[in-house]
Structure 1
C-alpha cells in the first residue's frame, strides 16, 4: 500500500513531529510493505528522521513531484493535528486552511482516496474559510477527529457527506523509546522536584507571562519545585519561556531546555517530572502518556477537550480566566496527591491510546 502524508511537517513543531512519528511507526506496525511519502518543508531532515520518501510541501516548487506522488498513492492521509482552521490569515487560496484542502482536492483529481486523519477542527470563522470547508472537505472519503467537539464543528460548517468518527489524537499511540538526552543536558543533582513548564506566544493574553511567573515563584518558595521550561516549538517557545523567567524572582532556580530535542526526548523528560503546567497541547498529551499529573492553561477548545478526557480539567483553567491564586492552590493539591492523580491519568490515557489506535484500524478497514 502506498500512502502520502500531508501535515504541518518539517517546521520544527514538536507536537506535529510527534504526530508524524506516531503515524509512521503505527502504519509500519500494522501494514506490511507500506510505502510512505511525506510532504515536508524540510524534506531531507524528514526523510532522515523517519526513513520515508519526501516531497517539498509548499507550492514554490516540486509541484510535479507532488502530483506524481499522489497519482501513485492509494491514499492521502491529511493530518493529524489542527490543520483545518483559519486562526492564521486566509486570503483566497493562501494560508494553512486553503493549502490542506487544496492538497486533498489535488489528490482527488489524481484519483487518490482521501482520509482526514485524527484531526482537531477549527476555529473556522471567516466566510471564505467556511465556503472552502463546505466545498472541499465534503470531498474527503473518510474522516476521523480527535474529539467530539471537532465532529460537531464539522457538521456546523456543513461538512456532512464523509463518514466522521471520533477517535483520539494519534500521539496517544506514540511508541516511546528510552532516551535521557534532555535530563543529561541539565546540571541536576537528582534530588530536585521537577515541574515541566510549557509556554507559547499568545499575543491576546500577554499578561499570562507575569501570572505564570508569580505561580512558579510561589511554588518554588512553598514547595521547593524546580521548574524546567520545555520549548515545544523551537525559538518561539524558547522566547516565550524567557519572557516568563525574566519576570520571576527565582529565575536562578529554573532551567530551560534547548529547543532542538526530538519529540521522544521531550516525552522522556516530561515523564520524569512530578507535574506539568502547560499551554501546548502536546506537552499535556506527553504528560498524560507518561502518567504525569498536569495543569493546563487552555487557549483553545482542543486543549480543554484533552484535559477533560485526561481527568485534569478541574485543576486547569482557560487562559482568559487565569487566576494565579487558584492555580497555586490547585498545583499544591496536585503535588500533594500525585500518586492517586497519576493512577487516574494513566487509566484515562490507556483509553485514549486505544481510541488513537482506532485511527489505524479504521484506515485499514476503509482503504485496504
Structure 2
C-alpha cells in the first residue's frame, strides 16, 4: 500500500522540453489522488509554461499536492501567483554528499557538460569546439566531456570529442560519484543545471551555458559570467577569453546554497 507519492527532483511541470510533460505528471497526481494517496511536490522547478493549457494543468496538479517545495525564486513566484504556499530552498543536489570518483586525467582539466537541444545549434557546437581547441593550444587544458544522460548526451559528446584531439569522455551512473568527479576538475562549462551545481559545490569554477531560465537564474543568483544559447555564438577567440577569465576568477561562496538545500528534507518527514 502506497503511503505517499513524491513528484519532484527537477523541472517536471514545464513544456519547454516536451508539451507532454504537464499531461504526464498531472496524470500521475490525478491517479494518486483518485486512490486516496497523498502527493508531495518536492524540490520542484515550475516552468517555463508557454501554453495556456500547460499552465492550467500544472496549477491543477499542484493544487492537489499536500506538500510543496520549490528550488528557485521564479517557481516560488509562480506558485504564489496561483495562491499556493510552498517552501523555497536551493536545489537538493547542493546538499548531496559526494563520493570519491576513481578517475585520473591531466590537469588543468575543464569538464564540458552539454545536452542535445535545439538551441545548441551547429554554429554553437562549432564555436565551442574551436574555442576548446584554441584553449588546448594556448594553455594545455585537458577537455573532459561528461554526458549526464549517456543515451542522449553521450551521442553528442562522442560527436564533439572526435573534433577535439586528446579530449576524453567520462560517464558515471552513481549520482554521488558523479558529483565527486567534479572535485577532480578545475572548471566546468555546463548546460545542465545539475552539472553547474555539482561543479560549484565541489569547488570548481563554472561557466553556465544557458538554454533554460533555471540555468540563467543560477548564474544571476551567484553573479556568474555565463553564455546564452538564445544569442548568436561569439567568435572562438572571444569565447575562449570568457572561459579564461572565468578560470582566473575566484570560486563563489556556495555555503548558503549547500546549507539551505537541507530544508527540502523537512517536506519528506
Distance in 1 of aligned mates of 2:190 and 2:17:
22
- 8 A contact 2:161–2:168 mirrored in 1: no
Q: Of the candidates 41, 44, 47, which is equivalent to residue 119 of structure 1?
A: 44
Residue in structure 1 matched with residue 264 of structure 2 by the alignment = 359
Q: Which runs of 5+ in 1 are unaligned?
A: 1-67
Over aligned residue pairs, what C-alpha RMSD do you find?
2.0
1:241 aligns with 2:157: yes
Alpha-carbon deviation of 1:362?
A: 4.2
Distance in 1 of aligned mates of 2:18 and 2:99:
38
1:165 aligns with 2:87: yes
Q: Of the candidates 99, 123, 127, which is equivalent to residue 177 of structure 1?
A: 99
1:87 aligns with 2:3: no
Distance in 1 of aligned mates of 2:166 and 2:107:
10
- The TM-score normalised by the length of structure 1 is 0.67
Q: How does 1:284-323 map to 2 (within 5 A)?
A: 284-312=196-224, 315-321=225-231, 322-323=233-234
Q: Is the deviation greater in 353-362 or in 280-289? A: 353-362
Residue in structure 2 matched with residue 254 of structure 1 by the alignment = 167
Taking structure 1 as reference, are residues 255 and 354 closer, same or farther at Cα in structure 2, changes over 3 Å only?
A: same
Residue in structure 1 matched with residue 128 of structure 2 by the alignment = 212
Q: Of the candidates 110, 124, 132, which is equivalent to residue 57 of structure 2?
A: 132
Residue in structure 2 matched with residue 195 of structure 1 by the alignment = 110
Alpha-carbon deviation of 1:143?
A: 1.5
Distance in 1 of aligned mates of 2:241 and 2:191:
18
Distance in 2 of aligned mates of 1:359 and 1:260:
25
Distance in 1 of aligned mates of 2:16 and 2:245:
35
Distance in 1 of aligned mates of 2:222 and 2:119:
27
Taking structure 1 as reference, are residues 303 and 138 closer, same or farther at Cα in structure 2, changes over 3 Å only?
A: same
Alpha-carbon deviation of 1:147?
A: 0.5
- The TM-score normalised by the length of structure 2 is 0.90
- 8 A contact 1:316–1:327 mirrored in 2: no
Alpha-carbon deviation of 1:245?
A: 3.1
Residue in structure 2 matched with residue 333 of structure 1 by the alignment = 245
Taking structure 1 as reference, are residues 334 and 134 closer, same or farther at Cα in structure 2, changes over 3 Å only?
A: closer
Q: Aligned pairs, how many?
A: 266
Distance in 1 of aligned mates of 2:150 and 2:210:
20
Q: 2:165 is paired with a residue of what secondary structure?
A: helix
1:223 aligns with 2:139: yes
1:104 aligns with 2:29: yes
Taking structure 1 as reference, are residues 88 and 177 closer, same or farther at Cα in structure 2, changes over 3 Å only?
A: closer
Distance in 1 of aligned mates of 2:207 and 2:80:
31
Distance in 2 of aligned mates of 1:109 and 1:310:
42
- 8 A contact 2:72–2:90 mirrored in 1: yes
Distance in 1 of aligned mates of 2:53 and 2:230:
28
Identify the structure with bigger relative contact order (alpha carbons < 8 Å, sequence gap 6+): 2
Larger radius of gyration: 1
Taking structure 1 as reference, are residues 274 and 86 closer, same or farther at Cα in structure 2, changes over 3 Å only?
A: same
Alpha-carbon deviation of 1:233?
A: 0.7
